[in-house]
Structure 1
Amino acid sequence: FSASEFGLFVNDVQHPSRSYWLDSSRPLNYYALKTGDNVDYRNKYRTLKIRLLDGTIRTILVDDSLIVAQLMVYICTKFGIANYDEYSIVYDLDADDASSVKTATLRRERSLQRTDKKMEELRKKCHTDDDTVWLDHSKTLRQQDIHEQSTVILRRKYFCSDTNIDQRDPVQLNLLY
């Protein structure tokens, strides 16, 4: 372990998304710390599960103190993607839906309710940009309630032009959808 892997962390127990890392280049009096604030000295690195569009899940170590914009440079470099500014991370809503168990009941539903339920299931399968939850690039993962158990999806956000894609690069061709 090296000292650069650790940092001071203000831990808000009641609201974990309000917790934040202190910048090592700034003095402590820069921050508006109050009496009773929990300041921990902890490891900045955590695991992040990333689902690629081909369905594979990769787990990598990321710096928890970096904002998503800085993490995108690291993640795309790690996966061999050259144009990191066209990609972003989506919160995986399907991982949360998979945890709910569907049970059969003896009671029949009315046909209108049944078609509404079927349409809702089809809408979940058909990923549109309307229901896509893109992560904010100016915030950290912790500020957006992305925990170590959460899974995120690496997707192409900006379609600047397909001429930027190298046809000999299998990683970019695989991520293109």
Structure 2
Amino acid sequence: MPSISLKIVQDEGAVTRKVKFHTDWTVKEALKVVKDKVIVPNKGQEYALFLRSADDNLSGVWLEDDRTLGYYMIKDGDSLDYICRTKNLRIRLLDGTLKTLPVDEVKTVGEAMMDICARIGIKNYDEYGLCKEEVEETEDGKEGKENKEQGGSGLTLKRAKPAKERDVVLEQMSKRLKTDDNVEWLDQHRSIREQGFDFKETLLLKRRLFYSDRNVDSRDPVQLHLLYVQTRDAILQGRHPVTEQQGTCTQRLLLN
């Protein structure tokens, strides 16, 4: 039965301990050994093992409980992160509201959306997604600093560009093979950490899919408000082209 010595890393590298394992042990068995060997603030919390990517120190894979260590081709001297499964995630809504919610890091984004939307009060969780927050620069090149200091969302709309320049920009954006809304969504089938996201950052919650107007519950104030803000911003930022007449009507509605 071959044995290997692995570095168990805690607190983003603040603490490292060497622990011996057998390659045919399951990850679940390895976790029991690690729990006895390392010191954690709360033994009642659930932990998991994370193998960082060799190419990217942020991304990687979570080790599944029923897999053996040998399955992941872990070598003697390799490092594994011992991470608490529950992590506070900062999420910003399109109206600027900032929420800090606990998420299970091991869950995929699709699975986590069920818990996130339930806490916010959104019923149709499968129509929403998470994307990285893009901070727009103001005219003086600052990233909305004054807006943040005044308690705003910190997001500033870009000044409208000339029609020709805007068309070129939109064409370039469309070539990135993202979505119709040109948003780079987090993969629904992988966890947040596996996609290299730093939990010190903030994620933006947006509506990702529009199945039918029938799915919009007119009695759900949370859903209606978020849908209104997202549609308004898409029109004002030129992501949803409209005719002059439609734009005038929309402007009147927004002003009211």
Answer yes or no: same fold by TM over 0.5: yes
Q: What is the alpha-carbon distance in structure 2 between the residues aligned to residue 17 and residue 170 of structure 1?
A: 38
2:161 aligned counterpart, secondary structure: helix
Stretches of structure 2 that go unaligned for 5 or more consecutive residues are 1-41, 143-158, 171-178, 229-256
Residue 119 of structure 1 corresponds to 161
Residue 122 of structure 2 corresponds to 81
Q: Give, as a single letter, the amino acid of the residue that structure 1 aligns with 2:77.
A: G
Q: What is the alpha-carbon distance in structure 2 between the residues aligned to residue 40 and residue 145 of structure 1?
A: 14
Q: Does 1:63 align with 2:104?
A: yes
Q: Percent identity?
A: 39
The counterpart of 2:186, out of the listed 135, 146, 170, is 135
Residue 10 of structure 2 corresponds to none
Highest CA radius of gyration, 1 or 2?
2
Matches within 5 A, 1:22-101: 22-94=63-135, 97=136
Q: What is the alpha-carbon distance in structure 2 between the residues aligned to residue 26 and residue 57 of structure 1?
A: 38
Q: What is the alpha-carbon distance in structure 1 between the residues aligned to residue 131 and residue 194 of structure 2?
A: 15
Q: Give, as a single letter, the amino acid of the residue that structure 1 aligns with 2:219.
A: R
Q: How much is the aligned-residue C-alpha RMSD, in angstroms?
A: 3.0
The counterpart of 1:164, out of the listed 210, 215, 236, is 215
Q: How many Å apart are 1:145 and its aligned residue?
A: 2.3
Aligned residues: 157
**What TM-score, normalized by structure 2, do the two folds share?**
0.53
Deviations 1:41-63 (A, max 9, x none): 22122221111121111111111
Q: Give, as a single letter, the amino acid of the residue that structure 1 aligns with 2:195.
A: Q
The counterpart of 2:141, out of the listed 102, 116, 130, is 102
Q: What is the alpha-carbon distance in structure 1 between the residues aligned to residue 75 and residue 105 of structure 2?
A: 23
Q: What is the alpha-carbon distance in structure 1 between the residues aligned to residue 137 and residue 100 of structure 2?
A: 19
Q: How many Å apart are 1:92 and its aligned residue?
A: 0.9
1:131 aligned counterpart, secondary structure: coil
Residues 38 and 12 from structure 1, CA distance in 2 versus in 1: closer, same or farther, beyond 3 angstroms? farther
1:16 aligned counterpart, secondary structure: coil
Q: How many Å apart are 1:159 and its aligned residue?
A: 0.8
Q: What is the alpha-carbon distance in structure 2 between the residues aligned to residue 13 and residue 47 of structure 1?
A: 26
Q: How many Å apart are 1:176 and its aligned residue?
A: 1.1
Q: Please say if residues 59 and 195 of structure 2, whose CA atoms lie closer than 8 Å, have aligned partners that are also in contact.
A: no
Q: Please say if residues 12 and 38 of structure 1, whose CA atoms lie closer than 8 Å, have aligned partners that are also in contact.
A: no
Stretches of structure 1 that go unaligned for 5 or more consecutive residues are 104-116
Q: Please say if residues 12 and 37 of structure 1, whose CA atoms lie closer than 8 Å, have aligned partners that are also in contact.
A: no
Q: How many Å apart are 1:75 and its aligned residue?
A: 0.9
2:106 aligned counterpart, secondary structure: coil
Q: How many Å apart are 1:168 and its aligned residue?
A: 1.8
Q: What is the alpha-carbon distance in structure 1 between the residues aligned to residue 82 and residue 196 of structure 2?
A: 21
Q: What is the alpha-carbon distance in structure 1 between the residues aligned to residue 225 and residue 137 of structure 2?
A: 25
Q: Give, as a single letter, the amino acid of the residue that structure 1 aligns with 2:127.
A: E
Residues 59 and 13 from structure 1, CA distance in 2 versus in 1: closer, same or farther, beyond 3 angstroms? farther
Q: Give, as a single letter, the amino acid of the residue that structure 2 aligns with 1:68.
A: V
**What TM-score, normalized by structure 1, do the two folds share?**
0.74
